[in-house]
């Protein structure tokens, strides 16, 4: 059993144990590694000042890891076990500025400079994923949605991102994920990790059986995914969970694949990877994920974390409710005997505000959901206070199955599934609305259904919107969907 996390920072191997393992990565880089180029501004994943590049060895995967941008302010050092972390200090090539730094200088993309390292790292992360061709402004803007600058203005920064010369791009992968670094990380990953400091415990087992045994023995346990939810309250002063369990060393939870009729998503699969996987099988969900948080969040955050947080405004939940999703859990009651596994239909998962139908000691291992069938129209809509990097005020998922092929005249709906987030204590399906939709679909029917939606929900008021606003929004989202179907 290892008593330390093993990570590489700018190519240097680091064994981290004790107090340091429970520090936030950004703090640790600045205060313990002498790397103050990584800045901290918001400390909640919103501004990108703390962006670093990270590649993680995935147990059982032979291909070299890919470097992605992530926020270092809301991740514990312990979670970086098996990772290669590159900070802005590690980007320099010999005596020269890094290509993204040089482009920022050339395009006057920096004034006070406080946000600049974060932008440099976000641009470098984009280049790691981009082919040798030109970077278009739209792509650059998408990759920079997680970074804020208050003085320069974004035009020169986007210009910098688009004009890093292909000949200057030095891929980070070959420089830092060297054969020896990969071998060291893989060797360490064969062993479970148990970190302890002043009553805090962080356990990362190599098998699901060990994970479930630990969960059975620690009723106060929190499973940690990427901590993009968990890390924020900790930074705001809430106590850190006393017992944390990470599944990053368990091979099967990294599995993501298409099956004949559906999609299988392991508990440690990032939303970026999921977006890629669903591009053809569930294109609407893939598109919708573009509006989820920022690249820095999506490169690490998991679908399972979104589900288990149980927020009524979790963006993926209305989709999962209409896509026949099943949440697969494992446990080992009493910490003895064989593993017990069961699947909970997504429609039965939420029992109340952030209350899940999980038994003590149950861990979510993976989620499955359906591909979009050819006769179905799937539409996912979200309204938030700003377009990018904001969770929804109200979100909606509509999946309607049509009779026959599109022809002239009104079409018949044979099955409808409708789900909303942000209109109740949990995300909800709307059976009455679904029944009302079956049959001929016309503008008059659509208006009746929109009014029915407005009448049937009783949302709460909060900082994101009043109850009245949410009711109007819910009805209007349906009107938008109906308009697209009738006239699109």
Ligand X SMILES: Cc1cc2nc3c(=O)[nH]c(=O)nc-3n(C[C@H](O)[C@H](O)[C@H](O)COP(=O)(O)OP(=O)(O)OC[C@H]3O[C@@H](n4cnc5c(N)ncnc54)[C@H](O)[C@@H]3O)c2cc1C
The reply to whether 149 sits near ligand FES by the rule CB under 6 A is yes
Asked if residue 151 binds ligand FES (CB under 6 A), the reply is: yes
| Interface with ligand X (CB under 6 A), residue from 282, 389, 396, 449 | 389
Site string for ligand X, 197-226 (x = CB under 6 A): -------------------------xxxxx
The single residue among 293, 396, 423, 428 that binds ligand X, judged by CB under 6 A, is: 293
And the tokens for 204?
């990362």
By CB under 6 A, residue 349 contacts ligand FES: no
Report the alpha-carbon angle 394-314-320, nearest 5: 100
Q: Is 47 in the site for ligand FES (CB under 6 A)?
A: yes
- Nearest-Å Rg of the Cα atoms of the chain is 23
Residue 36 or 64 having the CB closest to ligand FES: 36
Rounded to whole angstroms, the Cα distance separating 304 from 152 reads: 37
Q: Across the chain, how many H-helices and E-strands are there?
A: 17, 21
Q: Which of ligand X, ligand FES, none does residue 304 bind (CB under 5 to 8 Å by kind)? A: ligand X
Among residues 210 and 390, whose Cβ is nearest to ligand FES?
390
Query: 478 near 398, Cβ under 8 Å?
Result: yes
Shortest Å, Cβ 359 to ligand X: 12
Give the whole-angstrom CA distance, residue 266 versus residue 453. 34
113 binds ligand FES (CB under 6 A): yes
The CA–CA distances, whole Å, from 453 to 379, 419, 429, 431 equal 16, 11, 11, 11
- Rounded (10°) CA dihedral 139, 145, 148, 150: 60
> 228, 299, 368, 456: which one contacts ligand X (CB under 6 A)?
228
Scanning 43-51, 134-142, 198-206, 334-342 for contacts with ligand X by CB under 6 A, the matching segment is: 43-51
User: Is residue 299 near ligand X by the rule CB under 6 A?
Assistant: no
CA distance 356 to 420: 18
Q: Is 306 one of the binding residues for ligand X (CB under 6 A)?
A: yes
User: Considering the rule CB under 6 A, would residue 272 count as an interface residue with ligand X?
Assistant: no
**For the chain, percent helix, then strand, then coil, each to nearest 5?**
35, 25, 40
Closer residue to ligand X, CB minimum distance, 98 or 224: 224
Q: Which of 419, 378, 397, 393 is nearest to 472 (CA)?
A: 393
Residue found under tokens 């924020």: 232
**DSSP reduced 3-state for 130:** coil
Return the number of the residue (283 or 360) whose C-beta is nearest ligand X.
Answer: 360
Report residue 253: phi and psi, to 5°.
-80, -5
Size of site (CB under 6 A) for ligand X: 31
Query: Which of 50/301 has CB closer to ligand FES?
Result: 50
Q: Select the residue interacting with ligand FES from 19, 138, 150, 257 (CB under 6 A).
A: 150
Report the largest interatomic distance among the alpha carbons of the chain, rounded to a whole angstrom: 71
302 near ligand X, judged by CB under 6 A: yes
- Here the tokens at position 43 are 């400390």
Q: Which residues bind ligand FES (CB under 6 A)?
A: 40-43, 45-50, 71, 73, 110-116, 149-152
Q: Which residues bind ligand X (CB under 6 A)?
A: 44-46, 222-230, 232, 247, 267, 292-293, 297, 301-302, 304-306, 308-309, 314-315, 363-364, 389, 391
């Amino acid at each position: 059993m290892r008593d330390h996390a093993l990570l590489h920072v700018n190519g240097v191997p680091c064994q981290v144990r004790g107090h340091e393992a429970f520090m936030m990565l950004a703090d640790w880089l600045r205060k313990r590694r002498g790397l103050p180029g990584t800045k901290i501004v918001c400390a909640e994943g919103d501004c990108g000042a703390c962006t670093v590049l990270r590649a993680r060895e995935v147990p059982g995967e032979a291909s070299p890891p890919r470097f992605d941008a992530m926020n270092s302010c809301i991740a514990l050092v312990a979670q970086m076990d098996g990772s290669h972390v590159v900070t802005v200090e590690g980007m320099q090539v010999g005596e020269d500025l890094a290509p993204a730094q040089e482009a920022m200088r050339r395009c006057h993309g920096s004034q006070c400079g406080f946000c600049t390292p974060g932008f440099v790292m976000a641009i470098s992360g984009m280049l790691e994923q981009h082919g040798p061709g030109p970077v278009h402004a739209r792509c650059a803007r998408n990759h920079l949605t997680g970074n804020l600058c208050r003085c320069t203005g974004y035009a020169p920064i986007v210009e910098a991102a688009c004009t890093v010369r292909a000949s200057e791009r030095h891929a980070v992968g070959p420089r830092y994920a060297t054969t020896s670094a990969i071998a060291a990380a893989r060797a360490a990953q064969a062993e479970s990790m148990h970190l302890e400091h002043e009553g805090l415990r962080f356990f990362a087992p190599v098998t699901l059986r060990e994970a479930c045994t630990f969960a059975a023995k620690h009723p106060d346990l929190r499973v940690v995914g990427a901590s993009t939810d968990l890390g924020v309250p900790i930074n705001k002063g809430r106590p850190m969970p006393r017992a944390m369990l990470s599944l990053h060393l368990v091979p099967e939870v990294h599995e993501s694949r298409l099956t004949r009729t559906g999609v299988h998503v392991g508990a440690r699969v990032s939303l970026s990877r999921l977006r890629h996987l669903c591009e053809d099988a569930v294109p609407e969900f893939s598109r919708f994920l573009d509006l989820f948080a920022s690249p820095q969040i999506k490169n690490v955050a998991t679908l399972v974390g979104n589900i288990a947080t149980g927020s009524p405004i979790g963006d993926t939940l209305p989709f999962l409710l209409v896509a026949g999703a099943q949440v697969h859990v494992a446990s080992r009651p009493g910490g003895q005997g064989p593993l017990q596994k069961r699947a909970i239909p997504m429609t039965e998962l939420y029992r109340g505000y952030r209350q899940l139908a999980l038994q003590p000691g149950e861990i979510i291992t993976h989620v499955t959901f359906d591909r979009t069938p050819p006769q179905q129209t799937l539409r996912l809509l979200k309204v938030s206070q700003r377009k990018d990097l904001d969770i929804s005020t109200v979100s909606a998922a509509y999946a309607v199955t049509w009779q026959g092929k599109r022809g002239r005249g009104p079409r018949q709906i044979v099955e409808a599934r409708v789900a909303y987030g942000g209109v109740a204590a949990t995300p909800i399906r709307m059976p009455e609305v679904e029944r009302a939709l079956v049959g001929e679909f016309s503008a008059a029917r659509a208006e009746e259904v929109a009014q029915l939606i407005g009448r049937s929900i009783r949302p709460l008021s909060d900082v994101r919107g009043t109850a009245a606003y949410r009711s109007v929004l819910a009805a209007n989202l349906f009107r938008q969907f109906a308009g697209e179907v009738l006239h699109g």
